[in-house]
Structure 1
Amino acid sequence: MSPKLIVLLAIFSLQCLLALASDPDPVQDFCIPNPKYGAIRPARFTILPCKNSSEATTDDFVFSSMKSAGNFSETGLATIPVNPANFPGLNTLGMSFVRADLKAGAINPPHFHPRATEITHVVQGSVYSGFVDSSNRVFARVLEQGDVMIFPRGLAHFQMNVGDKPSTVFGSFNSQNPGSQKIPTAIFGSGIDDELLEKAFGLSPKQIGMLKKGLIPKGLN
């Protein structure tokens, strides 16, 4: 095989990988799923036929369920994720978003989104925010109202309300299905063998048990 052909194949392969690395570009203005074929399920985002564009209305492109905080967990965090499952107008547009509210002292524990970069905007409050890159370097600071920070795709990031009042954060993703894995739950609440965890973290069986008992009921998911 000639060097020129090898280079061309390498470039083609890279382009294919980049194309697969994000949501596909839409091939029409919008695609409101036709309700007669069922609803989009959050876990799978099954592609459904679009209803005729002439049947679309302004209501298909307006979401009004973020005006107040969602239900708070025991950790003091409330989130309202918005994606094609609850806002069909987003379907095929390659984006989604979330409203997160944190009580004073509450955290959004370290987590990552395997399929999207996130841009987060502090609507109110003071929020310690940051991410860790692949060399384990931490990029973090306290964000105040109006500040914006980016969390690159696939990197662990976190937030903590360091003020004495509730805080509200708005996050936007460049995927309609970014996915989310909370690191504490992924490690201690997923069923990984205890012996491996003990060796990995230098913890005793009792400590592992306490971590599992403390995490799972709190529903960090």
Structure 2
Amino acid sequence: MARAHLFVAAACAIVLALATPSLAGDPDMLQDICVADLMSQCTDFAADPCLIPAIKLNGFPCKANVTADDFVSAKLKNPGNTNNPNGAVVTAANVETFPGVNTLGVSMARIDYAPGGQNPPHTHPRATEIIFVLEGTLEVGFITTANKLFTKTITKGDVFVFPARLVHFQQNRGHGPAAVIAAFNSQLQGTQAIAMTLFGATPPVPSDILAKAFRVNNGVVNAIKAKF
């Protein structure tokens, strides 16, 4: 009996070990297509995007009537408006704006940068990111959990990859505009901008916690919070 129990335990351990890699990205598909039915997420159909979710799912339900139009998007065709404090803008083609990628484990984005513009330090909790430079000169980099910085200056035609979940950034170092196309191995990569996450959270992170973490006084923290 003891040997039988040991065998079952070992078999379970092997199954779990084999299953672990599949947990690293989006779940595997169980059907050919599943175009996201974004309207089923709404109870307030006048809102755009909907503000009141009708149901809670780890993903999106499939809609019934699918056409070829569901699998094409022009979201990345035109440059975005970089007139903002960062001087950069991200235009996403993920499941929230491109329902055809639902369950496919991929999405894209276009990032445009004014001269000196920055896509500030951030992470993607659910995806690795790879970028292709359309134009311009960018300084890009990521930081490992050992606090080692890997950085590089890249130009038109170059490709750079940011490992999943690590803090990374891009900044336009050229004299003109810059743009990249980014790809992700998730239908909805998620983004946490470090500064906004810490200083613009709702409800706010207590100032004394941030002051201690950054080794400054509460007044400095409150001054930074006011900017977000």
* TM tier, smaller: 0.7 to 0.9
1:6 is displaced (CA, Å) by 4.8
Q: How does 1:168-187 map to 2 (within 5 A)?
A: 168-187=179-198
Count of residues paired in the alignment: 212
Aligned to 1:14: 17
Q: Does 1:203 align with 2:219?
A: no
Contact in 2 for aligned 1:97/1:173 (Cα 8 Å): yes
Q: Does 1:150 align with 2:161?
A: yes
Separation in 2 of the partners of 1:79 and 1:70? 7
* TM-score of the aligned structures, taking structure 1 as reference length: 0.85
Separation in 2 of the partners of 1:161 and 1:134? 25
Separation in 1 of the partners of 2:146 and 2:182? 25
Unaligned 5+ segments in structure 2 are 43-48
Contact in 1 for aligned 2:94/2:101 (Cα 8 Å): yes
Q: State the AA in 1 paired with 2:60.
A: I
1:87 is displaced (CA, Å) by 1.2
Aligned to 2:67: 56
1:33 is displaced (CA, Å) by 3.7
Q: 1:7 to 1:138 in 2, by over 3 A?
A: farther
**What are the Cα deviations for residues 107-130 of structure 1, in whole angstroms up to 9, with x where unaligned?**
111000001111111111001001
Q: 1:121 to 1:41 in 2, by over 3 A?
A: farther
Q: State the AA in 2 paired with 1:195.
A: D
Separation in 2 of the partners of 1:133 and 1:181? 16
Q: Does 1:74 align with 2:77?
A: no
Separation in 2 of the partners of 1:188 and 1:150? 28
Aligned to 1:102: 113
1:70 is displaced (CA, Å) by 2.0
SS in 2 for 1:71: coil
Q: Does 1:86 align with 2:86?
A: no
SS in 1 for 2:108: strand
Contact in 2 for aligned 1:33/1:51 (Cα 8 Å): no
The sequence identity of aligned pairs, in percent, is 35
Separation in 2 of the partners of 1:105 and 1:35? 36
**What are the Cα deviations for residues 63-111 of structure 1, in whole angstroms up to 9, with x where unaligned?**
1132212233222111111112221211111111110001001111100
Q: Does 1:118 align with 2:129?
A: yes
2:75 alignment partner, one of 65, 69, 85: 65
Separation in 1 of the partners of 2:175 and 2:168? 22
Q: State the AA in 1 paired with 2:75.
A: S
Q: Does 1:131 align with 2:134?
A: no
Separation in 1 of the partners of 2:39 and 2:216? 53
1:10 is displaced (CA, Å) by 2.8
Separation in 1 of the partners of 2:37 and 2:224? 45
**What are the Cα deviations for residues 38-59 of structure 1, in whole angstroms up to 9, with x where unaligned?**
679799674323325xx522x2
Contact in 2 for aligned 1:71/1:79 (Cα 8 Å): no
Aligned to 2:45: none
Q: Does 1:31 align with 2:34?
A: yes
Contact in 2 for aligned 1:69/1:79 (Cα 8 Å): no
Contact in 2 for aligned 1:41/1:85 (Cα 8 Å): no
Contact in 2 for aligned 1:92/1:176 (Cα 8 Å): yes
Unaligned 5+ segments in structure 1 are 217-221
